[in-house]
Amino acid sequence: MTLLRSVSILLLCAGVAACEGSAKNNHHVGGGGGGGEPEPPSPSDTIRPAPAKFSCDASAVPTELPLPRLSRRQLMNSLRFAVDHALPGEADAVWTKLTPILARYPTDQRTPAPSDVKGGFSRLDQSIQQTQVDVMYDVGKAVAQELTSTDARRDALLGSCASDSQTSNDRTCLETFLRGWGARVLRHPLSTAEVTLFADIAGATPVDKAAVADVITTLLNSPGFLYRIEHGTTAGQPASPLSAFELAAKLSYQFWQAPPDDALWASAEDGSLLTESGFEAQLDRMLQSPRLRGSLDEFVSEWLRLDELPSLVALRNDPIYRSFVGAQMPTDATRTAMFEDVQLSAWSTLVSGGSVSDFLNDRRSYTADPFLAGIYGVPVWDGSGDAPVIPSQNRSGLLTRAALLATGTASTRPIHKGYLVRNALLCQQVGAPPPNASDRPPAPTDRMTTRQVVTQLTSGGSCGGCHNNSINPPGFVLEGFDALGRERGVERLFNPQGQETAAPSVDTSADVWLYDSEQRVISSAAELSRMVDESQLFESCVAQHYFRFAHARVESTSGDGCLLSELESVARSGAPMADLLKTIARHPTFKQRSFQ
């Protein structure tokens, strides 16, 4: 999928009826790289905020995942937690030994929402495959064998009672271990029945290394470890409040992708987590912790589909690519730096109290990679102090970050970019490509620009409805940046031998429709960013995507309308991004389990 970034959306059309807005103004957009320059919109020619997308029906009942499975990342973090709490002094060494077998656990598949051609979050993959079951058994067994590989490690787990001369206390020794380490790993205090169930696995030799390993293997393969089980505290009710430990686990996996730490566990033990002040104190602490960044990075990366950027060096021997790039070739580290630049923009916005709009418009560079810093025209950033501001006024923020512009080839992908803006940033669906759509990304020739080729291929027939009105215009506006994300005024064309044949001016003008009658002829990325921001469709879209990420499922606009409406309102209000995250946790549905 990553080799050709836009293969699945090359000619993204399914008739005019499939495209939002195509019935509004079915006129031709863009042409063949020429034409007069449009008048830019005046500052007063603002876009009206779009109507709110979501509404609340207080009588509606939200749906819930029946049994949330830990994602791969959450599972790996939970295993590391188990090792750290078992043998803190040897955890790194143990984890290194486990790495090969851990790598065998299948990767979660990103699952798009219905009618979306691309996108989705790996958290939405709740499937259970036989491979997962088999590998997890091997993982649990390997962890158990490492933790009990020597008498010293066994004694560190169970205490001196495991090696003293008495045998009468062996069962108590194992049960104490289960009530301590076992409770933390399963994320709730174990009942007497649970302790008995696990301890019985050891049989007549409760502290024998092999017997203890069997107990640990079983525990790490139990539903209480692999899933986030919520029973609630009121049996027989359609909606039941979560216990303090269930709430602690829900918070920690939501924001840290890991089990509760000692402070959160203690707040569950003493009951303070169930008080309003205690809950708010823990929520604030978690959102101010650096551990939040891992979850935010995953959300931003998957929402913006950063992993679709192919290698920047795979075509290093291609004559056209070499001529396009120039003397200095980017590296694999540059590709990683492009991802981190977007992730750090989101993180910086969040920790500084910035809003969703601030993230869209953030013009600072967050890279220590010299190649990427050169693209932005800024010095490298060492991570301390204020990040440098990108000097070009047309480098307008998120839309013009290199991660969203680069393609790994010598040609831009206006179709891909247009679809990304339309679908990922505005949450507008576009019809799927017809069965006979080309599977090759349109590329410039030695005489035709990218825009000319794309227009020629997509402007006619049923394809024109989607491409002319929805997909192509945002992508054409971004043609002011090349396939590495460098700002440009001309598009250099090459023959197959990599010799430059022409350098026509880039046409970035397009008639961009957002919603209803909100449509403008614009010619720069800065104007496109302004349109997107003023419409507040971006803010509504972020709220929708974060809901999906937080709940590991696609929303029901009726059943989930109240929470979605609240998230949308917060995102549109200019409130800090952190408030969007807090809204999830503060909503009544977060603290209860629905059994309807």
**Greatest Cα pair distance in the chain:** 94
- In three-state form (DSSP H/G/I as H, E/B as E, the rest C), the secondary structure along 391-432 is CCCCCCCHHHCHHHHCCCCCCCCHHHHHHHHHHHHCCCCCCC
pLDDT of residue 44: 52
The pLDDT of residue 508 is 98
Q: How far apart are CA 326 and CA 254, in angstroms?
A: 44
- Quick one: how far is CA 451 from the chain centroid? 30
d(CA 62, CA 594): 8
The pLDDT score that the predictor gives to residue 466 is 83
Q: Torsion over CA of 22, 26, 32 and 35, rounded to 10 degrees? A: -120
- Using an 8 Å Cβ cutoff, are 232 and 220 in contact? no
The burial of 362, by beta-carbon neighbours within 10 Å (0-12 exposed, 13-18 middle, 19 or more buried), is given as buried
> 3-state class of 554 per DSSP?
coil
Are 294 and 325 a contacting pair, CB within 8 Å?
no
Residue 451: CB atoms within 10 A of its CB come to: 27
Q: How far apart are CA 548 and CA 551, in angstroms?
A: 5
Structure tokens that stand for 132 in this block: 């997962």
Q: Parallel, antiparallel, or unpaired for β 510-515 and 500-502?
A: unpaired
**Cα 41 to Cα 353: distance, rounded to the nearest angstrom:** 31
Tokens 């047309």 locate to 394
SS (H, E, C) 133-197: HHHHHHHHHHHHHHHCCCHHHHHHHHCHHHCCCCCCCHHHHHHHHHHHHHHHHHCCCCCHHHHHH
Q: Is the distance from CB of 501 to CB of 493 less than 8 angstroms?
A: yes
Q: In the chain, where are the structural domains located?
A: 7-26+297-442+458-534, 72-226, 244-293, 538-594
* pLDDT at position 123: 93
DSSP 8-state class, residue 505: B
Rounded Cα distance, 406 and 500, in Å: 20
What DSSP string describes 445-492? -SSS-HHHHHHHHHSSHHHHHHIIIIIHHHHHHGGGB-TTS-B-SB--
Q: Judge residue 44's burial from the number of C-beta atoms within 10 Å of its C-beta, 0-12 exposed, 13-18 middle, 19 or more buried.
A: exposed
- In the chain the first and final C-alpha atoms are separated, in Å, by 39
CB hemisphere CA count around 263 (13 angstroms): 11
Full DSSP string of 261-292:
-HHHHHHHHSSGGGSHHHHHHHHHHHHTSTTH
Going residue by residue through the chain (596 aa), what tens digit of pLDDT does each one get?
343 344 344 444 433 334 433 333 333 333 333 333 344 444 458 999 999 999 999 998 888 888 999 999 999 999 999 999 999 999 999 999 999 999 999 999 998 888 888 889 999 999 999 999 999 999 999 999 999 999 999 999 999 999 999 999 999 999 999 999 999 999 999 999 999 999 999 999 999 999 999 999 999 999 999 999 999 998 878 889 999 999 999 999 999 999 999 999 999 999 999 999 999 999 999 999 999 999 999 999 999 999 999 999 999 999 999 999 999 999 999 999 999 999 999 999 999 999 999 999 999 999 999 999 999 999 999 999 999 999 999 999 999 999 999 999 999 999 999 999 999 999 998 877 777 777 678 899 999 999 999 999 988 877 777 888 899 999 999 999 999 999 999 999 999 999 999 999 999 999 999 999 999 999 999 999 999 999 999 999 999 999 999 999 999 988 999 999 999 999 999 999 999 999 999 999 999 998 87
Residue 241: strand pairing partners: 592
In angstroms, the Cα distances linking 132 to 140, 146, 225, 407 are 12, 21, 14, 33
Nearest to 33 by CA among 506, 511, 510, 521: 506
- Written as six digits, the tokens of 89 are 């002094």
Running DSSP on this structure, what letter comes out for residue 16? G
Q: What whole-number distance in Å separates Cα of residue 329 and Cα of residue 21? A: 41
